Amino acid sequence: MRLWNQSLLAYGRKMSAAAAGPEPRPASEPHGAGPAAAGEDIAEQRLFRAIRELSAVEPAVRPAAYDAIRSGSSLSIARTLELFDAQMASRHLDLAARWLRSRGTGYYTIGSAGHESNAAVAAALRLTDPALLHYRSGAFYLVRAAQANPRRNGVTDVLLGFVAAAAEPIAGGRHKVFGHPELHVIPQTSTIASHLPRAVGLAFSVERAAKLGLDTPWPRDCLVVASFGDASVNHSTAAGALNTASWCAYQGLPLPLLLVCEDNGIGISVRTPAGWIESASASRPRIKYFAADGADLAQTYDVAAAAANWVRDRRAPAFLHVRAVRLGGHAGTDVESAYRSPAEIAADTARDPLLGTARLLVAAGALTPAEVLDRYEAAKSRVLALAAQVEGAPRLVTAEQVMAPIAPRRPAIVAANLAARSRQVLPGQPRGWQRNPRQPASPPPESAGPLTLAQAINRTLADEMADRETMLVFGEDVARKGGVYGVTRGLLKAFGSGRVFDSPLDEQSILGMALGAGLAGLLPVPEIQYLAYLHNAADQIRGEAATLSFFSRAQYRNPLVVRVPGLAYQLGFGGHFHNDNGLAALRDIPGLVVACPARAADAAAMLRTCLAAAELDGSVCIFLEPIALYHERDLYEPGDGGWLDHYEPLERWAATHVPIGRGRMYGSGQDLTIITFGNGVRLSMRAARTLAADGISCRVLDLRWLAPLPYEDLLRAAAATGRVLVADETRRTGGISETVITTLVDAGFTGRIARVASQDSFVPLGDATATVLLSEGTIEDAARDLVRG
Ligand SMILES: Cc1ncc(C[n+]2csc(CCOP(=O)(O)OP(=O)(O)O)c2C)c(N)n1
Ligand SMILES: [Mg+2]
């Protein structure tokens, strides 16, 4: 034990002299350090000195465990001692992290030192209040772990995270995050504030579920707690989330959300202006502001309890501002002395939450200073003993192990779900859509004649909403207006404002709402009004939705189908933002499903597949709808109705099921395979007809799924003719054709390949549009070159 302390202290000394930069690999460093290092951890020495100097009260009789720690506080002495133990264990976890790092066995050193009063916030809440936590939440986590039944050893959980052990309970060695389903702590990414839109969405959704008579994983009176740092408040994601919380509460929507700002006055090296958090947060409409001194555990507990009661009882948001300090720099690699004066650093020690709690306990006569120090050393021994035990824990060793939870898929179960629904209702019997009391008796869509793409999506949404009671449709203009293109028309009337509603104009909030809804057990189908506007909120897909399963070993999932009208060729409504044809930002996200139906029949089947996959497997799906094809009716000639499809009756849904990653072949031409998707399907089919007149017979493969690509279909289609032309409406750089060709080459295709794509340009207004977009003529020319050239 002594040796560990010494090596740990030596490491602290070494790091204070190290240069700033990425975490060093201490491979060359000897394990352990000499006894000369002992006693050089300055911050700890200052803490010891301050504790020794506390003026001890020696009451004739020790106070009772249930006595208040201080007159007027609702925190008892017994509870203070428990929380003090959690605070100290958290502090020792920070030191253990640095010690493990110094030995090359740990990989994460961002600590909680100075923030340990969040133990009191945890104590003021319930185990079953879902928590989305800041990365300095060690003490909060330990208190939560102790609240569990049976009680968990949170220290071991955190240590396993430091060493990236496969047995770590939440991320299984994939990251160091605070999380555990039994503790209702949902893991967060390192992207500051990115969890706040989800937290707002979760608070909204627990209430919305109750309104709809649906269960969530949490009790009816739960609240959602989300914590974050002071610098994070400046992030536009935080600003958007706070605004949306305010926007909801302002119009009386219930939103039980406790926002906890742990304000240490600095973000890495950038100071937060004095008074800024209070000024920026105390006057937000309908978000009640509370403030507490994090150096004072009793005050923090009392204020946190008041804030929690306020949120729980009123089902309204509150902002709890806890003033903290940051001890030991931003992370183990941070040389704080480069940007803070010694006096500033020393001043923080006086506000050390451990000292504050020691002061409370000594003043109450519950402990003497010597007993505090003994307790501190005992806690250190326990944590370091556990740290030594986890050092050799097995890690993830194969890519398969690492990747297993990215997007677990069970296509057979998805297909069976659709088949079971086919069997549920006999032909001729009313089904969900018609049984819905809000739905005026209307003929089923299959008897309505051939439909456009937009109509088919509309009818499918209605059919699915009727059968899937957890499904919500929301976004900008989707409810009252029924969508900019009418795709959600009639849904509000049929299913009510509890399930179909307009959102504020903030894509991050829309997606965050969806992420929260998914966690609450709902099936969110948000709409992002145009593909161009997905980009300003892309992190909610890339960083949040797509990673949750990965960082939680699939214990948490993000069932999600985001409808995104997009792509180009809109006549009369031009310009880049309504014709964005860039998909690169979606294509590289591990596990993400990107569906792109070109016609009505595929849209209906693929949307059903996405919804079933989201509900059953937690799949994160982007449903990309080519706007230019929404209302298209014809294929070759005006009036031919070649782009319309009949809506399949329910009893044929199993037979017409389109699994994720299956393409669709048109024709059986022998000269050339055109591989395409979206608008390119119609362009290519028209080109193929012209080419046929020239004696070139083509087949056209519609990929339908842009992620994952229909691998088997792709290879089969290419092999069928030995010549492949990729007709890609996205840009040449980063577009779909890059991945199609790479896939074929990787698979050993040795035939001829060429591609035509849109220019690496933004899309201009007016007739100039045609100069940058893939055209039918370009496809024809390239096909002739490929076959004859
Ligand atoms: C979006 C984003 N930008 C930058 C970073 C890098 N970064 C990590 S922590 C941090 C400062 C956060 O400060 P604050 O919110 O005050 O939390 P504290 O570390 O002080 O507790 C920064 C800039 C990040 N993680 N996420
Ligand atoms: Mg800070």
Q: Is the CB of 195 under 6 A from ligand 1?
A: no
Is pLDDT of 247 > 90? yes
Which of 331-335, 424-428, 537-541 is least confident? 424-428
- The residues annotated as belonging to the active site are 578
Q: Is the CB of 267 under 6 A from ligand 1?
A: yes
Q: Is the CB of 44 under 6 A from ligand 1?
A: no
C-alpha distance across the termini of the chain, in Å: 78
- What separation in Å is there between the alpha carbon of 120 and the centre of ligand 1? 23
pLDDT given at position 55 = 81
Ligand 1: nearest atom to the Cα of 134? 21
Ligand nearest to the CA of 233: 1
Is pLDDT of 673 > 80? yes
Q: Is the CB of 264 under 6 A from ligand 1?
A: yes
pLDDT given at position 438 = 60
Is pLDDT of 431 > 70? no
Distance CA 502, CA 481 (A): 9
Band of residue 106 on the pLDDT scale cut at 50, 70, 90: very high
Ligand nearest to the CA of 193: 1
Q: Is the CB of 191 under 6 A from ligand 1?
A: yes
At residue 784, the 3 state secondary structure works out as: helix
Ligand 1: nearest atom to the Cα of 237? 1
CA-CA distances (angstroms) from residue 164 to 100, 192, 193? 11, 21, 24
Ligand 1: nearest atom to the Cα of 192? 26
Band of residue 661 on the pLDDT scale cut at 50, 70, 90: very high
Q: Which protein residues have their CB within 5 A of the ion that is ligand 2? A: 229-231, 264, 267
Q: Over range 529-536, report the average pLDDT.
A: 94
Is pLDDT of 436 > 70? no
Alpha helices (H) in 722-789, listed in sequence order: 736-746, 769-772, 776-788
Ligand 1: nearest atom to the Cα of 539? 1
CA–centroid distance for 114 within its chain:
28
- What separation in Å is there between the alpha carbon of 131 and the centre of ligand 2? 19
Q: What sign results for the dihedral spanned by CA atoms 80, 82, 87, 92?
A: positive
Q: Over range 406-423, report the average pLDDT.
A: 88
Phi, psi of 571 (to 5 degrees): -80, 135
Copy the structure tokens of residue 17. Answer: 């002299």
Quick: pLDDT tens for 438-453.
665 567 788 889 999 9
> Do 176 and 190 contact (CB within 8 A), yes or no?
no
Band of residue 61 on the pLDDT scale cut at 50, 70, 90: confident
CA–centroid distance for 493 within its chain:
31
Distance CA 684, CA 340 (A): 64
SS3 labels along 63-132: CCCCCECCCCCCCEHHHHHHHHHHHHHHHHHHHHHHHHHHCCCCCCCCCCCCCCCHHHHHHHCCCCCCEE
Q: Is the CB of 128 under 6 A from ligand 1?
A: no
pLDDT given at position 5 = 40
Ligand nearest to the CA of 232: 1
Q: Over range 54-77, report the average pLDDT.
A: 88
Q: Which amino acid is at 470?
A: T
- The model's pTM is 0.93
pLDDT given at position 651 = 85
Q: Is the CB of 236 under 6 A from ligand 1?
A: no
Q: What sign results for the dihedral spanned by CA atoms 155, 158, 163, 168?
A: positive
Q: Which amino acid is at 684?
A: S
Alpha helices (H) in 479-519, listed in sequence order: 491-495, 507-519
Is pLDDT of 129 > 60? yes
Q: Over range 457-482, report the average pLDDT.
A: 95
Q: Is the CB of 230 under 6 A from ligand 1?
A: yes
> For residues 429 and 783, which has the higher predicted lDDT (pLDDT)?
783
Is pLDDT of 42 > 90? no
> Do 737 and 755 contact (CB within 8 A), yes or no?
yes
Which of 191-200, 201-210, 355-364, 438-447 is least confident? 438-447
Closest listed residue to residue 384, CA positions, set 115, 99, 37:
99
Quick: pLDDT tens for 85-99.
999 999 999 999 999
pLDDT given at position 21 = 30
- What separation in Å is there between the alpha carbon of 268 and the centre of ligand 1? 7
Please confirm whether the linkage preceding 35 is cis (ω < 30° from 0).
no
Task: Tell me which of 188, 190, 237, 268 to substitute to probe ligand 1's pocket, judged by most ligand atoms within 8 Å of the beta carbon.
Answer: 268
- What separation in Å is there between the alpha carbon of 29 and the centre of ligand 1? 29
Q: Is the CB of 232 under 6 A from ligand 1?
A: yes
Give, using CA atoms, the residue closest to atom 12 of ligand 1.
267
- What separation in Å is there between the alpha carbon of 330 and the centre of ligand 2? 9
Which of 213-222, 244-253, 415-424, 740-749 is least confident? 415-424
Distance CA 183, CA 424 (A): 38
Q: Is the CB of 190 under 6 A from ligand 1?
A: yes
pLDDT given at position 573 = 78
CA–centroid distance for 629 within its chain:
31
Phi, psi of 486 (to 5 degrees): 80, 15
Band of residue 137 on the pLDDT scale cut at 50, 70, 90: very high
Distance CA 613, CA 590 (A): 16
Band of residue 687 on the pLDDT scale cut at 50, 70, 90: very high
Averaged pLDDT of the chain: 92
* Residue 704 φ/ψ region, left for φ over 0, alpha for ψ in the -120 to 50 degree band, beta for the rest: left
Q: Give percent of the chain with pLDDT exceeding 90.
A: 86
Ligand nearest to the CA of 543: 1
At residue 475, the 3 state secondary structure works out as: strand
- What separation in Å is there between the alpha carbon of 135 and the centre of ligand 1? 10
Distance CA 684, CA 688 (A): 6
Band of residue 646 on the pLDDT scale cut at 50, 70, 90: very high
What angle do the packed helices 236-250 and 196-211 form, to 10 degrees? 20
At residue 436, the 3 state secondary structure works out as: coil
Distance CA 747, CA 733 (A): 21
Quick: pLDDT tens for 293-327.
999 999 999 999 999 999 999 999 999 999 999 99
Give, using CA atoms, the residue closest to atom 19 of ligand 1.
267
pLDDT given at position 432 = 60
In sequence order, the 6+-apart residues with CB closer than 8 A to the CB of 180 are 144, 145, 152, 157, 169, 170
Strands 270-271 and 266-267: antiparallel
Task: Tell me which of 23, 116, 192 to substitute to probe ligand 1's pocket, judged by most ligand atoms within 8 Å of the beta carbon.
Answer: 192
> Do 353 and 114 contact (CB within 8 A), yes or no?
yes
Quick: pLDDT tens for 600-612.
999 999 999 999 9
Q: Is the CB of 703 under 6 A from ligand 1?
A: no
Q: Is the CB of 229 under 6 A from ligand 1?
A: yes
Band of residue 2 on the pLDDT scale cut at 50, 70, 90: very low
Residues in the chain: 789
Ligand 1: nearest atom to the Cα of 190? 25
Quick: pLDDT tens for 464-473.
998 899 999 9
- What separation in Å is there between the alpha carbon of 232 and the centre of ligand 1? 6
pLDDT given at position 26 = 31
Distance CA 498, CA 671 (A): 54
DSSP 130-191: -EE--TT-HHHHHHHHHHSSSPP-HHHHHHHHHTTBTT-TTTTTS-----BGGGTEE---SS
Q: Is the CB of 326 under 6 A from ligand 1?
A: yes
- What separation in Å is there between the alpha carbon of 266 and the centre of ligand 1? 9
Quick: pLDDT tens for 732-742.
999 999 999 99
Ligand nearest to the CA of 134: 1
pLDDT given at position 29 = 33
